[in-house]
Amino acid sequence: MMQPVQSRFVSQLKRYYALYTGGFIGFIVMLSILEQMGVPNKLLGYIFLGVTVSLYAGIGILSRTSDVSEYYVAGRRVPAMFNGMAIGSDWMSAASFIGLAGTLYLSGYDGLAFVMGWTGGFVLVALLLAPYLRKFGQFTIPDFLGARYGGSIPRSIGVFAAILCSFTYVIAQIYGVGLITSRFTGLDFGVGVFVGLGSILLCSFLGGMRAVTWTQVAQYVILIVAFMIPVIWLSVKHTGNPIPQVAYGYVLEKVTAREKVLNDPTSPDGAREAEVRAIFKQHEIRDEDRLKALETGGAAYLSEEKAKLVKAAAELEARRDADPLALKAANQAVADFPADVAAAQKAWRLQAEADKAKSGPISAHAEPFAGPDEQTRDNKRKNFMALVLCLMVGTAALPHILMRFYTTTSVGEARVSVFWSLLFISLLYVTAPALAVLAKYDVYTLLVGSSFSELPSWVSAWASVDKTLMSVTDVNHDGIVQLAEVTIGGDLIVLATPEIAGLPYVVTALVAAGGLAAALSTADGLMLTIANSLSHDVYYKMLDPKAPTGRRLFISKALLLVVAVFAAYITSLKPGDILVLVGAAFSLAGSAFFPALALGVFWKRANKAGAILGMSSGLLTCMVYMYITYPFFGVNAPLWWDINPISAGIFGMPVGFAGVIIGSLLTPAPDKETQDMVDHVRYPNLERNIKSRIA
């Protein structure tokens, strides 16, 4: 039923992207031949990152535009499947690509909260928002709030919340960009941030949503290929089956059996584990004693301890036959010694927690909410549920995703494009748990029990790169690796998979390019959301409604530049960890937007007063809870019902709903015009007779 122009456009797109995918695979093959010929790894890494980044920039240049509708909503002619791919890469950030498999490796079943949360949210998007937003058919999410509730206050709160959650999220992405470029090219973190940013800017600067959409489709292809290849290989290596999602049930059984052996002190392997755990138990007791002494002794105790270390280092220095390594360690210990009581408390507390974790038995990968007693288990279950709900509702409220549904050709296409998005996204999310299990199998069976003199090459390689990602120390000096002696940082799992699977370096570079694609594409979408909120909602809708289109686009682009530089600056200060930032963005979005958006469509009685009350109280509750409970802010108030700060939205959302309902019922029903607008949104064919309001 498509018009010939659109169907020609679609088949053209299919041809382009098929050629592109073929070209990309050819490029990988070519590089692996180069690798066989002896081209150094570093150069291959540069070529890989250079080519992909300039590719994105190239698409940006090709799709440059100065048409308002093209700039904001890609001309509203993005076919459902391509919109699905674009949303897929817009959606999957560095946290999904690199962090997720690692989180699953470290926390087993409990990590599945992210898998379910980040996919199930699209059910809410499809059922409650996407088709209605498409029918509404404007440019931004605050547009909808402004038109539905009237007046500039709901719009302003919307703008504030959109910028707040997008900005929090974009910092996490730029952080990922900096991390990947610096790790794989050896550039400085700050330089990495600005190089990555350059390509983001070039792309969104020239072509807005149009350029970002077509770049994101290209990025989806790269990131999914990069994620799948090593996992498939690993699956073939361990099971002989190239479909990891099917094959890993069998591997999981073996991992579970192995976990039992390692936790059983009567088996030889289990006995060695028990020995190492006993040593960590002693460490833990020592840490706790030290913390107690610090509490009573204060600064005096701290300087006393430091003096001991300084003395020990000086004594070693004085000895002629001193072991240079021991001397280095002693000096390092002096240099790393905490500067004041607060820092000491923090560092030693962390140390105590780490030692405590190593002194107990390992928990089973597939066991939900593992814990020593009923209360811990209940607590974990409660937090799991809360996190799933926050991530889902947050998904259905993040403006950079929702505004993509403005770009499809029709309401029907919007519905279908949620289907494609979810399908493309699920492809990665069903693979990540498989990767976690396969990697765990490798570590539990091949690494544990191997001798320290013959560590697998990927272990020694990564241990020399970054101690927080991978470290093995022979704690009980028996020359054999025990599980408790291995420390793995979550990010390692995806980054090291190609080496674990024994693949050539090209695949490692491919994974880096995939991670970069994931981070860049999400950053692109977010940055555009922020700039559009400022230029469209604040400048055009509130400050200067008569502005000519040329000036609107100019303002938009200028703001993009300002936002990008500001975000890069904040990122270079390295504020907090990625997961905290991401979690905060979801909770904030869910609390601020979801109640007002969903009720705006499904409850005609919802009015301006309700929206103002609901959005502001939801957002405020969420912000206050995060502020008082995240250790980062230093307030450390007791938790409400033991809910972790990452799920702050669990309080913000009900408050938001209550706010909208109470506020609306206390004030008169919205006028006829608004009610007509709700009808307009509900029925795909209803013509609008409310032009004056939203045009």
Residue 6 engages other proteins in binding (rule: CB under 8 A): yes
Residue 694 engages other proteins in binding (rule: CB under 8 A): no
- Counting other chains too, the contacts that 198-201 makes at CB distance below 8 Å and 24 or more residues apart are 198/57, 199/53, 199/54, 199/56, 199/57, 199/60, 199/520, 200/520, 200/523, 200/524, 200/527, 200/564, 201/560, 201/561, 201/564
Say if residues 486 and 15 touch (Cβ distance below 8 Å). Answer: no
Tell me the one-letter amino acid at 88.
G
Say if residues 592 and 165 touch (Cβ distance below 8 Å). Answer: yes
Q: Which stretch binds other proteins (CB under 8 A): 199-207, 284-292, 620-628, 684-692?
A: 684-692
Residue 57 engages other proteins in binding (rule: CB under 8 A): no
- What sign has the CA pseudo-torsion 393, 397, 400, 406? positive
Residue 358 engages other proteins in binding (rule: CB under 8 A): no
Residue 416 engages other proteins in binding (rule: CB under 8 A): yes
> Which one of 410, 445, 487, 572 is in contact with other proteins (CB under 8 A)?
410
Per CB under 8 A, which of residues 112..151 are in contact with other proteins?
112, 115-116, 119-120, 122-124, 126-128, 131
**Which of 128, 261 has the CB closer to other proteins?**
128
Per CB under 8 A, which of residues 383..402 are in contact with other proteins?
384-385, 388-389, 392
Residue 186 engages other proteins in binding (rule: CB under 8 A): no
Burial environment of residue 481 by CB neighbours within 10 A (0 to 12, 13 to 18, 19 or more): buried
Q: Which stretch binds other proteins (CB under 8 A): 43-51, 144-152, 361-369, 398-406?
A: 361-369
Say if residues 94 and 578 touch (Cβ distance below 8 Å). Answer: yes
The tokens for 366 are 């597939």
What is residue 471's three-state secondary structure?
Answer: strand
Q: Which of 101, 98, 102 is nearest to 487 (CA)?
A: 102
Residue 661 engages other proteins in binding (rule: CB under 8 A): no
Q: Which residues on neighbouring strands pair with residue 408, listed in sequence order?
A: 78
Q: Which stretch binds other proteins (CB under 8 A): 140-148, 291-299, 410-418, 622-630?
A: 410-418
- Residues in contact with other proteins, total (CB under 8 A)? 58
**Which of 1, 318 has the CB closer to other proteins?**
1
Say if residues 185 and 51 touch (Cβ distance below 8 Å). Answer: no
> Which one of 236, 312, 423, 628 is in contact with other proteins (CB under 8 A)?
423
Say if residues 146 and 533 touch (Cβ distance below 8 Å). Answer: no
Q: Give the per-residue contact string, 426-445, with other proteins (x = CB under 8 A; - = no).
A: x--xx--xx-----------
Per CB under 8 A, which of residues 243..262 are in contact with other proteins?
245-246, 249-250, 252-253
Residue 152 engages other proteins in binding (rule: CB under 8 A): no
Residue 345 engages other proteins in binding (rule: CB under 8 A): no
Smallest distance from the beta carbon of 213 to other proteins, in angstroms? 18
Residue 684 engages other proteins in binding (rule: CB under 8 A): yes
Q: How far is CA 98 from CA 42, 103, 156, 497, 549, in A?
A: 21, 9, 35, 11, 40
Q: Give the per-residue contact string, 602-621, with other proteins (x = CB under 8 A; - = no).
A: x-------------------
Per CB under 8 A, which of residues 532..551 are in contact with other proteins?
none
Angle at 527 between CA 410 and CA 493, to 5 degrees: 100
**Which of 101, 463 has the CB closer to other proteins?**
101
Residue 422 engages other proteins in binding (rule: CB under 8 A): yes
What is residue 139's three-state secondary structure?
Answer: coil
Q: Which of 545, 540, 413, 559 is nearest to 74 (CA)?
A: 413
The tokens for 349 are 């507390």
Positions that interact with other proteins (CB under 8 A): 1-3, 6, 109, 112, 115-116, 119-120, 122-124, 126-128, 131, 245-246, 249-250, 252-253, 366-369, 377, 381, 384-385, 388-389, 392, 409-412, 415-416, 418-419, 422-423, 426, 429-430, 433-434, 602, 679, 682-687, 689
